[in-house]
């Protein structure tokens, strides 16, 4: 069996373009899907996939680790967000091909099922674009949280803090404390709450002030309380607060995650399989985390193929904890698929048994939403004095 071509299908989902990767083989009807979506870098990722194609076309798609080495070692330059996403999308598609060729789901190839369902969490109103609620109106925000939980979830991730610089104004911290407490009172103790800081605080003291305000409601974790990459600072912060921390969506290599594990900087790591090397990179990262006693909560606010990939990974990963999903981003999320495995049952995804990833993109339907410039919500991230904030 040989790889004959690599194609991309780009689908505009308003705030991002989903980049679906299709790897074709010389076996009639046998192909694989992957997803290489990277917010606001669509053209760059698509070009990187074109650059990688000559390294794998003509090769045996069943030799996945060999092909990952070809894509990473022949390239000379270390992988970053763009090239890492391109490699990830192609790598995922290879697993899809292998599972289909052998007639088994990908989770079977990863060592087999270690759990019976995959607990998931969603965002406010399932991340539906245009349906979000600001943090200023506590009552309206709580109404939206309650509405989200009633959609069938036992866990939800919320944005609870404002754009933040090096300081944390007392009035903003007190408002955050009131908001967090109101949310907890509304949903009760049976619902897990996470909050994503998006790396907004620019100092450990600012991050600590907001964490201390939220900690009394016992969140499952606080995500990216500071910008990623400064692992010693994250470890320092972890020792100064009484709340589990999480990071990893903007880390790409096992070496980066090894530093996080060695310093015990967080309680949970959040690799994104669309950026960190697909299943191959994700498995290495999960093993590193397991050795350090850390849970894995994969990042995924993207399209349906990314969801299918995460589902297969979670089924076979012993230290998996909970999976992010955003299946409500657009109303036609499921419609672009002719086969769709993300079945929500009591706040969890069911384990699929179809060969490969269990997902197929309906390319005719997907073509109704062609590439166009995304709407970029980060453009609103500006401090009162005009300085650019971390979104």
**Per-residue pLDDT reduced to its tens digit, 299-323:** 999 999 999 999 999 999 999 999 9
pLDDT > 70: percent of the chain: 100
Q: What is the pLDDT, as a whole number, of residue 20?
A: 98
Instruction: Tell me the C-alpha distance between 133 and 126, whole Å.
Output: 12
Q: What is the pLDDT, as a whole number, of residue 98?
A: 98
If pLDDT is split at 50, 70 and 90, which confidence band does 352 have?
A: very high
Q: What is the pLDDT, as a whole number, of residue 75?
A: 86
Residue 103's CB is within 10 A of a number of other CB atoms, namely 10
Taking residues 48-59, what's their average pLDDT?
98
> Which residue ranges make up each domain of the chain?
3-104, 108-355
Same fold yes or no, 3-104 and 108-355 = no
**Catalytic residue list contains 390:** no
> Residue 41 is encoded by which pair of tokens?
């870098």
328, pLDDT greater than 90: yes
Catalytic residue among 198, 275, 383, 390: 198
The tens digit of pLDDT for each residue in 245-296 reads 999 999 999 999 999 999 999 999 999 999 999 999 999 999 999 999 999 9
**Catalytic residue list contains 66:** no
If pLDDT is split at 50, 70 and 90, which confidence band does 10 have?
A: very high
If pLDDT is split at 50, 70 and 90, which confidence band does 377 have?
A: very high
Instruction: Tell me the C-alpha distance between 56 and 90, whole Å.
Output: 9
The b/e string for 265-288 (b: 16+ C-beta within 10 A; e otherwise) is bbbbbbbbbbbbbbbbbbbbbbbb
Q: Domain 3-104 is of which CATH architecture?
A: 2-Layer Sandwich (3.30)
108-355 carries CATH number 3.30.930.10: no
If pLDDT is split at 50, 70 and 90, which confidence band does 127 have?
A: very high
pLDDT > 90: percent of the chain: 98
Catalytic residue among 275, 299, 383, 390: 299
4, pLDDT greater than 90: yes
Quick one: DSSP state of residue 233? H
> Residue 142 is encoded by which pair of tokens?
């709580």
- The overall average pLDDT reported for the chain is 97
297, pLDDT greater than 90: yes
The tens digit of pLDDT for each residue in 143-191 reads 999 999 999 999 999 999 999 999 999 999 999 999 999 999 999 999 9
Which residues, at least 6 apart from 323, have a Cβ–Cβ distance to it below 8 Å? Answer: 118, 119, 120, 121, 297, 298, 300, 310, 311, 314, 349
351 in Cβ contact with 310 (< 8 Å): no
DSSP per residue over 174-189, as a string? HHHHHHHHHHHHHH-T
Q: What is the pLDDT, as a whole number, of residue 227?
A: 96
């Amino acid at each position: 069996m040989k790889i004959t071509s690599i194609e991309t299908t780009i689908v505009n989902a308003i705030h991002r373009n989903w980049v679906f990767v299709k790897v074709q083989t010389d076996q009639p009807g046998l192909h694989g899907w992957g997803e290489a979506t990277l917010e606001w870098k669509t053209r760059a990722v698509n070009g990187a996939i074109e650059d990688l194609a000559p390294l794998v076309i003509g090769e045996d798609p069943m030799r996945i680790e060999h092909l990952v080495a070809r894509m990473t070692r022949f390239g000379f330059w270390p992988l970053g967000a763009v090239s890492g996403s391109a490699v990830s999308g192609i790598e995922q598609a290879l697993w899809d091909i292998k599972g289909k060729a052998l007639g088994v789901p990908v989770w079977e190839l990863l060592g087999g099922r270690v759990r019976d369902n995959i607990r998931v969490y969603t965002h406010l109103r399932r991340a539906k674009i245009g349906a979000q609620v600001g943090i200023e109106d506590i009552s309206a925000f709580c109404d939206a949280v309650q509405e989200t939980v009633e959609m069938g979830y036992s866990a939800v991730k919320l944005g609870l803090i404002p754009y933040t610089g090096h300081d944390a104004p007392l009035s903003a911290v007190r408002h955050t404390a009131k908001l967090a407490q109101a949310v907890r009172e509304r949903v009760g103790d049976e619902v897990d709450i996470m909050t994503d800081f998006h790396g907004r605080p620019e100092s450990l003291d600012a991050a600590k002030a907001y964490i201390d305000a939220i900690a009394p409601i016992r969140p499952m974790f606080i995500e990216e309380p500071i910008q990623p990459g400064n692992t010693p600072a994250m470890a320092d912060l972890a020792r100064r607060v009484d709340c589990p921390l999480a990071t990893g969506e903007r880390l790409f290599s096992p070496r980066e995650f090894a530093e996080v594990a060695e310093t015990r900087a967080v309680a949970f790591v959040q690799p994104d399989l669309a950026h960190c090397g697909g299943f191959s990179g994700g498995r290495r990262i999960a093993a590193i985390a397991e050795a350090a006693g850390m849970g894995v909560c994969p990042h995924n606010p993207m399209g349906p193929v990314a969801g299918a990939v995460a589902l297969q990974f979670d089924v076979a990963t012993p230290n998996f904890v909970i999976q992010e999903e955003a299946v409500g981003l657009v109303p036609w999320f499921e419609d672009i698929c002719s086969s769709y495995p993300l079945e929500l049952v009591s706040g969890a995804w069911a384990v699929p048994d179809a060969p490969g990833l269990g997902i197929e993109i309906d390319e005719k339907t997907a073509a109704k939403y062609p590439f166009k410039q995304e709407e970029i919500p980060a453009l609103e991230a500006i401090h009162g004095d005009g300085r650019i904030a971390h979104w």
